[in-house]
Amino acid sequence: MTYTVFLFLMGLVMGLVGVASNPAPYFSALGLVVAAGGGCGVLVWHGGSFLSLVLFLIYLGGMLVVFAYSAALAAEPYPESWGDRSVVGYVLLYVVGVVLVGWWFYGGWYEGSWVVGDSMKGFGLLRGDIGGVVEMYFLGGGMLIVCGWVLLLTLFVVLELTRGFSRGALRAV
């Protein structure tokens, strides 16, 4: 189990390095999907299967669609890939930085800390992550509505910023 979580964490870190190295938006979208998959895999191994599924579906269903639309509006004739010299330099810099930070904190990390967070003895009716969703809707319902409106406003702002001088998607028909 430790090796599987390690592979998910490496996928998460490599996906984030792929996004941070600033290639073209097309390649960054692949890095974002790899990072989201790695993060959701870590959540699954630690007992948050429902939370992982919800996060992955919301990510792919919402944020990636807006990102793809923005990338299509900002299309480059010669996009930079991960094999270009400047991008490889950034990738090496970030990987060395991650290795150095990992080496710095290595003494405080132990293999025994990689345990499943939802290991109950006997039978249970609810898992821990589903109970958290219930609390979020019960106690945080107003904040959930506010966050939904903020996401809708963010969508309109991103679409307005990426349309440029031509008429974009928000035009009167």
CB proximity list for 80: less than 8 A, separation 6 or greater? 22, 23, 24, 27, 86, 87
pTM exceeds 0.85: no
Q: Which two tokens stand for residue 34?
A: 């790899």
Would you state the structure tokens that stand for residue 115, as one six-digit string? 């345990």
Is the model's pLDDT at 124 over the cut of 60?
Answer: no
| pLDDT beyond 70 at 19 | yes
pLDDT one-digit tens code per residue, 109-122: 655 555 555 555 55
CA 74 to chain centre: 22
Give CA torsion, residues 40, 153, 64, 39, to 10 deg.
-10
In degrees, rounded to 5, the angle at the alpha carbon of residue 134 between the alpha carbons of residues 133 and 135 is: 90
Confidence category of residue 169, pLDDT binned at 50, 70, 90: low
- On the question of pLDDT at 84 being above 60, the answer is yes
Structure tokens at 130: 């589903």
The Cα 169–Cα 159 span in angstroms is: 7
